[in-house]
Structure 1
């Protein structure tokens, strides 16, 4: 499938895709700088799709007891939530938007991201859902048990968002064994590959960005259903 046509995406936002693996600390530093620039009116908002080398990230609620086997670098992320894993085969989307122009509603923002991911997974035939008491995006694995297929973590500073969400296309699921993902020990982690679906990053990005307009519209209208 061809790579996404960025010219068809909503204007006023930089839509960026990085090939290869982007160092997590470097990406975090760039988000920090971009957050300041957006807040000062000196830069466009940013939606950035990428992948990282293997890394564990610790949110502000991370419990050291949930770092079971720190086989990879552990980075303090500054976002909400607990421990997460990023690595090859997992597509990460960083969303840096100015909520001051979008009703200053963080809950609406998170809900809109959930719906964005759920609708995109549906385009690949995967029924996914959010669970109010369990952060992230969920589906059923090959055994029929509920399992996490996507993670969400955000930080808001000066009403400009940082971080975003990740979706497991085909990561090494054994790498999640080094942590208790998001502090939830009773459920497993799955991926599109584990569900029998081969989805290339270009294909995922194209499908996700095709629904970007619906995501942005939902920030203003929380009752707007995904198309």
Structure 2
């Protein structure tokens, strides 16, 4: 799988990366480019998916970019690792199974840092659930399938400014919080997390990709 790693550029503009994602998506859907993992750290931006409700953005002064992924509104910014897997799906297009694969890759990465995470029934993403504490989302997931090819992906909080999430109802969830690796006492970098996450993604997503010897 091709790797397009933009982390070395520091926080970048969302619109610039979105344009690049869409260009790659069309090439991959056309069979003109290999499946790709895009790794990026965004400058401050709020994006709203198809399930966003007006009450999820209580402050109408918050600038929001409307996009064509699933899910509600969320924040992206410095200290957060965003990964867009762009894959031409071979066989059945099972969106739920695909989301579960992304979750599994993130959970395996968290385990490498000694952190126990889990899924929460009825909610996508990767969570930290502890007795007596509010559930907290570590990684948000929002995807789209178009022309048998995936778009968008996951956002993993490494050392994000969690206060930025308080300007919206993150992911449309009112009874849970948001957390980062840093807030959980894990001192690491986006580059180190990416290096650990990519092999897990390649393993989990392999079943969605066409076999190497499949006809074009």
Q: Tell me which residue corresponds to 1:54.
A: 44
Q: Deviations over 1:190-213 (max 9, x none)?
A: 111111111111110111123234
- Please name the residue that 1:129 is paired with: 118
Say whether 1:194 aligns with 2:171. no
Q: d(CA) in 2 for partners of 1:77 and 1:24?
A: 11
CA deviations on 1:132-152 (whole Å, 9 max, x unpaired) are 311211013797432111100
Which residue of the partner structure matches residue 106 of structure 2? 117
The answer to whether structure 1 residue 25 and structure 2 residue 15 are counterparts is yes
1:63 maps to 2:38? no
2:4 to 16, 35, 43: 16
Tell me, yes or no, if the aligned pair for 2:73 and 2:168 is still in contact at 8 Å: yes
What CA RMSD, in Å, does the superposition of the two structures yield over aligned residues? 1.8
User: Which residue, out of 47, 65, 69, partners 1:75?
Assistant: 65
1:218 to partner: Cα distance: 4.9
Name stretches of at least 5 consecutive residues in structure 2 with no aligned partner: 210-216
Does the 8 Å contact 2:53/2:72 carry over to 1? Answer: yes
Change over 3 Å in CA distance of 1:199–1:70 after alignment to 2: farther
* TM-score, normalised by the number of residues in structure 2: 0.89
Q: What TM-score, normalized to structure 1?
A: 0.85
Q: Give 1:1-227 correspondences, 5 Å limit.
A: 13-18=1-6, 19=8, 20-69=10-59, 72-99=62-89, 101-140=90-129, 144-219=133-208
CA gap 1:175/1:143 in 2 versus in 1, 3 angstroms: farther
Distance 2:17 2:130 in 1: 31
**For residue 4 of structure 1, what is the aligned residue in structure 2?**
none
CA 1:169–1:70: 2 relative to 1, 3 Å: farther
- Is the CA contact (8 Å cut-off) linking 1:83 and 1:183 kept in structure 2? yes
